[in-house]
Amino acid sequence: PKEFEEIASRLAASYTDSSDDETSPRDKQQKNSKGSSDFCIKNIKQADFGRREIEIAEQEMPALMALRKRAQGEKPLAGAKVVGCTHITAQTAVLMETLSALGAQCRWAACNIYSTQNEVAAALAEGGFSVFAWKGESEDDFWWCIDRCVNVEGWQPNMILDDGGDLTHWIYKKYPNMFKKIKGIVEESVTGVHRLYQLSKAGKLCVPAMNVNDSVTKQKFDNLYCCRESILDGLKRTTDVMFGGKQVVVCGYGEVGKGCCAALKAMGSIVYVTEIDPICALQACMDGFRLVKLSEVIRQVDIVITCTGNKNVVVREYLDRMKNGCIVCNMGHSNTEIDVASLRTPELTWERVRSQVDHVIWPDGKRIVLLAEVRHPLILSSVTTLTLLSPQALALIELYNAPEGRYKQDVYLLPKKMDEYVASLHLPTFDAHLTELTEEQAKYLGLNKNGPFKPNYYR
């Protein structure tokens, strides 16, 4: 029908990625409908499509929406100037708009050059956010975008929300005086938290920092439950591989590794695990996985997945020994786990198959399939949108409003009471009903009947 053709045409126009347009967003100035140009994205015309994606994401994020509704009258972040560096997706857009509703001003860059949803970035720019990100940034673009968020005349951040530590590192190296006005850092990744602990140990951490990565809701939902779904989703979207009977080695049996292994085992894959930690190694054995050294299985496996957060886990020697057609990908935050740089040599040929999929071909014709150049190909599932971003918002509120002296120049875990509050906000989604302790039961356990129910070290 004609009406259908018109709708389809409008939808296609709104979603056009302009990927055939080689002009860098840095080379063309765009304005939103209000005339503002304080952003740099791929295509502002995608804003309507991005807005629909954000509205869908809101339905899957009841905790943030509940927090927005409960606290927007109080404006607990009034006066906060938050600079952020995270994945820019429909889900993080809900977080940014929640922070704005609670009184914060935000400037944002992407922590990953591949994961930005261009239409969502357009919707944020149309909504007045200063966002600097597009899918497929170069390394130079990446740092340029971060710099545009912090090097602004007349605007200085007083809170940092980081995923991976790159934003914190950039300010630390380029604009150290900014820390005089920054009240705190909220970090959500293993890599970024590790960097903060290193700074703290060396006595170089200038402000309090909140380790959100090790909050239970972040660990279990983002790292375990999300990756249990997104590993299959990411591999299917990029390679259409069949998992039944495939031999897979998962490097690392932390929360991410546990999620990946569970999903692949359920699909009929033969799963091997590598580990350095005897406790995680024993867990892998008790869960029915074969614990091996990578060198023992590298010639026979069909898929290699890294999720250690370390560096040089898969080196050129192992890449050379892989079988023809082996798929190589990374589920950790860092892009240092697989030595991709060693593959950029004259004797090897790179062939781009599709977005985020490269074949690397050896002189004898052997090829491996490299996904997202081993950066995390983030694909958020509904299970992670439920809880992933709520702890970040609460951590920002806590650090921003904390009385002077409560937090020193150190790294802190998210208070367990906040973790439990995040979880409780989601329970109505499942029509779940908590049992309440009686006064006598609470006294017997030595707890407040309203929590917290677990010690702060519990994970």
Q: Please enumerate, by residue number, every residue annotated as part of a binding site.
A: 89, 163, 188, 218, 222, 254-259, 275
Give the span between the Cα atoms of 145 and 381, in whole angstroms. 27
Query: By the 8 A CB rule, do 95 and 389 touch?
Result: yes
Residue 28 buriedness (CB in 10 A; 0-12 / 13-18 / 19+): exposed
Helical segments of 102-226, H only: 118-126, 139-150, 166-174, 190-201, 216-217
Give the span between the Cα atoms of 390 and 212, in whole angstroms. 10
Binding residue positions for NAD(+): 254-259, 275
The phi and psi torsions of 215 (rounded to 5 degrees) equal -70, 150
Query: By the 8 A CB rule, do 67 and 36 touch?
Result: no
Binding residue positions for substrate: 89, 163, 188, 218, 222
Scan for tokens 């309507």, then name that residue.
Answer: 48
The phi and psi torsions of 184 (rounded to 5 degrees) equal 180, 165
Q: Which amino acid is at 315?
A: V
SS3 425: helix
User: Please, what is the angle between helix 47-59 and helix 90-101, to 10°?
Assistant: 80
User: Please, what is the angle between helix 90-101 and helix 390-401, to 10°?
Assistant: 30
Give the span between the Cα atoms of 347 and 242, in whole angstroms. 31
Beta strands of 232-269 (E only): which ranges? 247-251
Paired tokens of 142: 């990446």
Nearest Cα to 258, choosing from 217, 297, 307? Answer: 307
**DSSP state for residue 403 in the 8-state scheme:** P
How big is the chain by its Cα radius of gyration, in Å? 23
Give the span between the Cα atoms of 279 and 26, in whole angstroms. 48
Query: By the 8 A CB rule, do 105 and 81 touch?
Result: yes
Helical segments of 224-368, H only: 227-239, 255-266, 278-286, 294-297, 316-321
